[in-house]
Amino acid sequence: MNDMTSVRRPTISLVIPAYNEEDYLPACLDAVMRNVAGEAMEVIVVDNNSTDGTKAVVERYPGVTYVFEQRKGITRARQCGFLAARGDILAYVDADTHPPAGWIEQIAKQFAARKNLACLSGPYSFYDLTGMRRAISNAWFVGARPFYWMTGHMMVGGNFAIRRDVLEKMGGFDASIEFYGEDVDIGKRASKHGRVLFCPNFVMPTSARRMTKQGFLKMAGLYFTNYFSIVFRGKPATTDYEDVR
């Protein structure tokens, strides 16, 4: 008789915060339906008090759960998704991303291979940039790796997965952070409960709309300033931010 007990495979919930994303969300959800939905326990879109047709977009996808968060702000939307989700692992992407084939399978593989893994993240690739601009933008993540080696954590807010029990130990997301530094804060606090892995092959195609609107140098300055502020001061240096919708 085989008395070996089978180990239950952790379930994965996908959470997509969305604020006025009727233009970008359809392509995101199309990619999710192709590449993620079959392996995910659930797909949740958190409408962060949109004033456009975001809800109507979600209603076109019967397999997607719609939840509403009235308090605007990315950390509040993430927290709302956390409270609504049922999975053992919560995966987060932005509404302007195109989750690729194999992405959710890599989440399952990485967490299965590393029992102490608290959080997984990886770089962006920018689908609406070409040539030198795309090369420079992609080099951002290569240049940031020394900081990852020094601090032990690095996060990209539109491309990460985190264990539910780690989020519970962290007390969820810090709703006092409006925008800049929120991903650094997640990585820093998660690293106290396990390994935070930044995997170069865990790539998420996304829009460069913020970079295009603000300019690469300005955006890089804002992100690096707030990175160091979170790491050394425990709070962001910048409290205001600009919507790019």
Q: Tell how strand 42-47 and strand 64-68 pair up.
A: parallel
Enumerate domains of the chain plus CATH numbers.
12-233 (3.90.550.10)
pLDDT of residue 140: 63
205: pLDDT strictly greater than 70: yes
Please, which residues have CB within 8 angstroms of residue 120's CB and are 6 or more apart in sequence?
A: 107, 110, 111, 160, 161, 162, 196, 197, 199, 202
Contact predicate 9/108, CB 8 Å:
yes
Angle in degrees, CA 144, 146, 152, rounded to 5: 100
Alpha helices by DSSP H, listed for 88-241, are: 103-113, 131-143, 145-151, 164-170, 182-190, 209-214, 216-233
User: Rounded to 5 degrees, what are φ and ψ at 92?
Assistant: -120, 130
**Which single residue is written with the structure tokens 């530094």?**
181
pLDDT of residue 226: 80
pLDDT, one tens digit per residue, over 7-34 is 678 999 999 999 999 999 999 999 999 9
pLDDT band per the 50, 70, 90 thresholds, residue 137? low
Secondary structure letter of residue 157 according to DSSP:
T
For 7, 196, 222, the CA distances from 99, given in Å and listed in that order, are: 28, 21, 26
Q: When comparing pLDDT for 3 and 33, which is higher?
A: 33
Angle in degrees, CA 107, 80, 241, rounded to 5: 90
Segment 170-186 mean pLDDT:
93
pLDDT of residue 2: 45
Pick left, alpha or beta for residue 151 (phi over 0 → left; psi -120 to 50 → alpha; otherwise beta). alpha
Segment 32-43 mean pLDDT:
97
Distance between CA atoms of residues 113 and 124, nearest Å: 23
Secondary structure letter of residue 8 according to DSSP:
P
For the ranges 16-30, 149-163, 221-235, the one whose mean pLDDT is highest: 16-30
Q: What percent of the chain has pLDDT over 70?
A: 89
**Among the ranges given (63-67, 121-125, 138-142, 165-169), the one the predictor scored with the smallest mean pLDDT:** 138-142
98: pLDDT strictly greater than 60: yes
pLDDT of residue 3: 42
Here the tokens at position 198 are 């930044």
pLDDT band per the 50, 70, 90 thresholds, residue 169? very high
Distance between CA atoms of residues 177 and 73, nearest Å: 8
* Residue 229: other Cβ atoms inside 10 A: 17
**Which single residue is written with the structure tokens 């047709």?**
53
Segment 131-149 mean pLDDT:
65
